[in-house]
Amino acid sequence: MHDMLNEEERMTQQVNVTVGEPFGAGHGAIHASLETQEEYEQLAGDVKNHIAPVAEGAPSSCIDGREAVSCMDGEATEARPGVAGGGLISAYAAAELAGLIPESITSQDNKLRHVHDKLSSAGLVSGGHCDKSNADEGFAAGGTGCGANDRLPQILENLHNDKAVVDGLTSVLMGDGYQAELTEYVNSETLQSRHATWNKTAFINELGAETGHNVEILASEHTPTHGHAEQAVVFNFVENTTVDRDALIEATGKQVFDVDVWYLSKIAAALAADSTDASAESRAMHALVAYQAATYLTLCDGSQRPIIVSAV
């Protein structure tokens, strides 16, 4: 424990945080109540103080900023790398966008299994989440409470409809690695036809078959945004770290989305592992980043600001 605290103290001294301008675009309902630069500088400082190490082998989870109740096995959760919908859903969406799933695999269950196996082969433990109200109802309404999963067909549609905005965010986040020609994703019509009957609970079955510990149950409220109140989107570039979501809420009462960009790189490498296409890994990374951006546009109203966490 003593060593762990030292590690965390050291870490807070080694990261930079910077706040950007409000995104200014979004079709969703999740709204940030913070407004001023000063309020966001304060939040960025709080985020910096809650950057925590991710243990080797920790399952991934979602960017969702709501507090965890437990995992589906009833045990407490721990710091997990966050990407939209968790590693399995982000990897699946990117593989579809970049055309990285063999055409011989056609059913949703088999596609999820294929992507799950790719991640496992690379040593990445797939995870995801539901929310408490959907879990309590035994998923009777058909959804899971994970917007990045439940609204996947719409996120893919928005990704194409708002491609200029999505490409702009992808370019900013990828920096020198951005190549416009690698954003020529599978077209919208094809994606919509493939997802006309998207089974929202399939990923929970796929993950739960391994262990319920890989699925977090996040707190929800009976409000129009189901308890979502994220103020910012953290883009964290510091490898093997994440925002300690639950500790941040305990200390400040504030939620943030957290995209662990370093973990997207690991997913991209896993998806491209046995490809003969030299550009496959980079194409996967572009698609992964684009899916994070399109998820934001689908769930939020543009009022949030980005907080970039990087190594000193």
Q: What angle do CA 254, 239, 158 make, to 5 degrees?
A: 60
297 counts as binding Zn ion under rule CB under 5 A: no
233 counts as binding Zn ion under rule CB under 5 A: no
148 counts as binding Zn ion under rule CB under 5 A: yes
Q: How far is the CB of 147 from Zn ion (least distance, A)?
A: 6
Q: Say which amino acid occupies 226.
A: H
Residue whose CB is less far from Zn ion, 146 or 182: 146
Question: Strands 305-311, 15-19: parallel, antiparallel or unpaired by DSSP?
Answer: antiparallel
Task: Name which of 158, 137, 136, 155 is nearest 147 in CA terms.
Answer: 155
Query: Binding Zn ion by CB under 5 A: which of 64, 131, 246, 281?
Result: 64
Residue whose CB is less far from Zn ion, 64 or 246: 64
Q: How far is the CB of 84 from Zn ion (least distance, A)?
A: 7
Partners of 15 in the beta sheet? 311
Which of these segments, 33-41, 47-55, 60-68, 271-279, binds Zn ion (CB under 5 A)? Answer: 60-68
62 counts as binding Zn ion under rule CB under 5 A: yes
Q: How far is the CB of 248 from Zn ion (least distance, A)?
A: 17
Q: Say which amino acid occupies 101.
A: I
146 counts as binding Zn ion under rule CB under 5 A: yes
285 counts as binding Zn ion under rule CB under 5 A: no
Which of these segments, 140-148, 153-161, 221-229, 251-259, binds Zn ion (CB under 5 A)? Answer: 140-148
Which of these segments, 145-153, 187-195, 264-272, 294-302, binds Zn ion (CB under 5 A)? Answer: 145-153
Looking at residue 181, what DSSP letter applies? G
Q: How far is the CB of 264 from Zn ion (least distance, A)?
A: 15
For Zn ion (CB under 5 A), the number of binding residues is 4
Long-range Cβ contacts of 163-172 (<8 Å, 24+ apart) = 165/25, 165/293, 165/297, 166/290, 166/293, 166/294, 166/297, 167/290, 169/289, 169/290, 169/293, 169/296, 170/286, 170/289, 170/290, 170/293
Q: Which stretches within the chain are classed as H helix?
A: 2-14, 37-48, 87-97, 108-121, 132-136, 147-150, 152-161, 163-174, 188-194, 202-208, 245-252, 261-271, 280-299
CB 44 within 8 A of CB 51: no
Terminal Cα-to-Cα distance of the chain (whole angstroms)? 25
Q: How far is the CB of 259 from Zn ion (least distance, A)?
A: 12
93 counts as binding Zn ion under rule CB under 5 A: no
Per-residue x/- mask for Zn ion, residues 97 to 136, rule CB under 5 A? Answer: ----------------------------------------
Q: How far is the CB of 146 from Zn ion (least distance, A)?
A: 3
For 187, the 3-state DSSP assignment is coil
Residue numbers at the binding site for Zn ion (CB under 5 A): 62, 64, 146, 148
